[in-house]
Structures are given as structure tokens and as C-alpha cells.
Amino acid sequence: MTENKPNRRELLEWINVVSFAVDDVKLFLDTHPCDAEALEYFDEFKKQRVEALKEYARYYGPLTLDTASTSAERWGWINEPWPWQEGGC
């Protein structure tokens, strides 16, 4: 069975979008900690960010330590282009 590999650039763009949304609402929550709608928004976009980071790590290697594998054979991502290198995005 062949897997449908997501487009690397599009996945990185989505990670940037959801990361911005999480950071932005986090700043709002600093001054409005009891805003139920903002808390719900934060939870939803945080979940989407975590899922996107896991998907990126699955196909292209981890972007954060949270998605890095501890298994020795999974360290092969170190030889792949990094997101900021030519061909990495």
C-alpha cells in the first residue's frame, strides 16, 4: 500500500499558520484568561499544530524535540535537507 506523502512546503506553511494562531491567542489569553471562546480556539489550534508536527516528522523528520524519535534507526533524518536548506522546502 502506497502512502500519500503530503507536500513538504504546504505542510510547513500549515505548521506556520497554526503556530501563529496558537501564539496569537496565547497572548490574548494573558489578559483574558477566562475567555471560554479563546480557550476553545487555543485548544483546537494547539491540537492541529501537534498533529501537523507529527505528520511532518513522520515523512520528513522532526522539527521539534517533541516529535523526535528515540529509536536509533530513526536518526536518519539528519542526512535529509533541513527546512531552510535548498531542496528542504
Please report whether residue 25 resides in a domain.
yes
The boundaries of the domain holding residue 29 are: 19-64
DSSP secondary structure code for residue 64 in this structure: S
**Left if phi > 0, otherwise alpha if psi is -120 to 50, otherwise beta: which for 3?**
beta
How far apart CA 42 and CA 37 sit, in angstroms, is 9
Give the number of other CB atoms < 10 A from CB of residue 22: 19
Please check whether residue 56 is in contact with residue 11, taking contact to mean a CB–CB distance below 8 angstroms: yes
> Could you tell me the pLDDT band of residue 66, with boundaries at 50, 70 and 90?
confident
pLDDT tens by residue, 2-44: 578 899 999 999 999 999 999 999 999 999 999 999 999 999 9
Check whether 74 has a pLDDT greater than 80: no
For the chain, the domain total comes to: 1
Please report whether residue 52 resides in a domain.
yes
In sequence order, which residues have a C-beta less than 8 Å from that of residue 66 and are 6 or more positions away?
A: 50, 53
Please report whether residue 6 resides in a domain.
no
